């Protein structure tokens, strides 16, 4: 029996966003590995083992998946959104670094609907032109690098999507992010706070930068900042193609 | 009968990437509007009208969709990839600008798997950390703005994804893009050329920047440039989470 690891994206919450290819992987897996709330989205069935682990143990979880595949198990690593965007795919490849035998296992990635694109679709098309995606968490990188990237992205007039904008352990940094944006952008710049997009808790608000406050973001929010041309038309927010 | 416009993403080609929500829209639409090769992906059925148009008429196509919705038709505007990423969603909102009556129509966007994320998944996880998405076409914006954005994105050490890198009408600009990258990045920087991703014509190559040539890109290619930490592990290419 030959094992594999397939790293799959479940999308942001709505089951209607899960692709048929991802469903097929889940149907043929012997083991599901992932963060507790994502594993909770998988329907139990006979013979399927569920391995749900807490946050911040991504490398251990990845190593466990590879270890099981080496033993012949068919392992689906589940991420919310797209596994290649601030999610489990990079962690699995990192875990592979020190083990040459793991590097020859069949490991593949299946894309999913990532949160920023689900949020953008609900708002209209704020990422309809050039944009940057930035993870605001400084768990794994210095916050100075986050600040530098936001400043240069604003100077390039990219629209921006921020993942992990604010958490209980990092309540103050998002205030700093808003300060940088106020330095670089005009007060009328549109900013969208999309919380729990595509779930029953979904809440999407759009305000000018001058009215944005840190409390509008939490760990379930993706934040989209328009570029200088992003505008409203009727109830929609979009970025024109010529900007 | 009340009409609507739903702007949906068909993903980059593989039918297994089309979400159930998008399938539902296609199943309930009375009219399909889009660029010829995308409309060709929709199975004909009785009562379904297919309106396939050529490239570069996005605004006319969008206006036609809104006009039919105003007459009570249920119109699916189909894009390849995600409609909100360099695709039809922004064009529909632009077409709405001059017609207040169109701004109150039920218009919504349903996300899809965009080409850069399908390409990234096939390569490993090169967009696994902060990145920028840039449309290299200067049909609608000056090429100087493209150049500026690439330069600033490189200085911010973003990974980058380029859409529409090269076409028959713009054969020389991609050479200029490679020059800018060579100014700003080290020769070993990894660059991925992903052509026709997820179709039977798929071809993905990865070379160091020093070996990249303009001919590696065409209009069916999405180009991914790693950041300074992007690396190979076994057959995979990924960007670590701490970079």
Determine, for residues A117 and B111 on separate chains, whether the beta-carbon distance falls below 8 Å.
Answer: yes
Output b/e per residue, B89-121; b: 16+ Cβ within 10 A: bbbbbbbbeebeebbebebebbbbbbbbbbbbb
Rg (CA), chain A: 19
Determine, for residues A132 and B135 on separate chains, whether the beta-carbon distance falls below 8 Å.
Answer: no
CA distance A56 to B12: 33
CA distance B182 to B128: 22
Mutate to test the interface with B, among A25, A100, A114, A128 (most CBs of B within 10 A): A128
Determine, for residues A131 and B132 on separate chains, whether the beta-carbon distance falls below 8 Å.
Answer: yes
Q: Model's pTM, two decimal places?
A: 0.97
Within a 13 Å sphere around the CA of A229, how many CA atoms are in the beta-carbon half? Answer: 17
For residue A109, the chain B residues in CB contact (below 8 A) are: 120-122, 124-125
Contact B32, B51 (CB under 8 A): yes
Using CB atoms, pick whichever of A84, A117, A242 lies closest to residue B84.
A117
Determine, for residues B89 and A148 on separate chains, whether the beta-carbon distance falls below 8 Å.
Answer: no
For residue B239, the chain A residues in CB contact (below 8 A) are: 90
Determine, for residues B86 and A128 on separate chains, whether the beta-carbon distance falls below 8 Å.
Answer: yes
Confidence band of A207 (pLDDT split at 50, 70, 90): very high
Q: Is the pLDDT of residue B186 over 90?
A: yes
- Edge to edge, the sheet with strand A31-35 lists A49-53, A31-35, A74-79, A4-9, A107-110
pLDDT per position as a tens digit, B9-21:
999 999 999 999 9
Confidence band of B169 (pLDDT split at 50, 70, 90): confident
* Shortest Cα–Cα distance, B16 to chain A (Å): 5
For residue A17, the chain B residues in CB contact (below 8 A) are: 19-21, 111
Average pLDDT, chain B: 96
Q: Is the pLDDT of residue B40 over 80?
A: yes
- Residue A101 dihedral angles phi and psi, to the nearest 5°: -65, -30
Torsional class of B32: left (φ above 0), alpha (ψ -120 to 50), beta (otherwise): beta
Tokens encoding B189: 């920087």
Residue of A nearest to B12 (CA): A111
CA distance B30 to B107: 15
For B213, residues 6+ apart whose C-beta sits below 8 A from its C-beta are B178
Q: Is the pLDDT of residue A230 over 90?
A: yes
pLDDT per position as a tens digit, A56-65:
899 999 999 9
Tokens encoding B24: 């539902």
Contact B223, B165 (CB under 8 A): yes
* Shortest Cα–Cα distance, A87 to chain B (Å): 7
Q: Is the pLDDT of residue A239 over 70?
A: yes
Query: What pLDDT is stored for residue B168 in this prediction?
Result: 82
Q: Is the pLDDT of residue A243 over 80?
A: no
Classify residue A101 by burial, with Cβ atoms within 10 Å: 0-12, 13-18, 19+: exposed
- The ipTM is 0.97
For residue B56, the chain A residues in CB contact (below 8 A) are: none
How many angstroms separate the Cα of B68 from the Cα of each of A236, B3, B33, B37? 19, 8, 10, 21
> At A177, is the secondary structure helix, strand, or coil?
helix
Tokens encoding B80: 């390849």
Q: What is the DSSP letter of A238?
A: E
- Edge to edge, the sheet with strand A231-233 lists A124-125, A236-238, A231-233
């Amino acid at each position: 029996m030959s094992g594999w690891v397939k790293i799959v994206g479940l999308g942001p919450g709505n089951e209607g966003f899960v692709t048929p290819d991802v469903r097929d992987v889940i149907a043929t897996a012997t083991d599901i590995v992932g963060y507790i709330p994502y594993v909770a989205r998988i329907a139990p069935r006979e013979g399927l083992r569920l391995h749900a682990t807490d946050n911040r143990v991504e490398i251990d979880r990845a190593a466990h998946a590879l270890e099981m595949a080496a033993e012949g198990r068919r392992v689906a690593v589940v991420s919310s959104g797209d596994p290649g965007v601030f999610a489990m795919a990079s962690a699995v490849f990192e875990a592979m670094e020190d083990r040459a035998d793991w590097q020859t296992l069949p490991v593949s990635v299946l894309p999913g609907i990532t949160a920023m694109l689900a949020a953008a679709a609900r708002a209209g098309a704020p990422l309809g032109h050039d944009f940057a995606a930035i993870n605001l968490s400084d768990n794994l990188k210095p916050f100075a690098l986050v600040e530098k990237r936001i400043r240069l992205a604003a100077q390039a007039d990219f629209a921006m999507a921020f993942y992990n904008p604010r958490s209980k352990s990092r309540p103050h940094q998002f205030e700093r992010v808003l300060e940088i944006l106020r330095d670089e952008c005009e007060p009328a710049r549109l900013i969208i706070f999309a919380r729990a997009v595509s779930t029953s808790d979904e809440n999407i608000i759009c305000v000018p930068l001058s009215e944005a406050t840190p409390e509008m973001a939490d760990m379930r929010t993706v934040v989209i900042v328009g570029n200088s041309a992003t505008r409203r038309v009727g109830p929609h927010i979009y970025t024109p193609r010529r900007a």
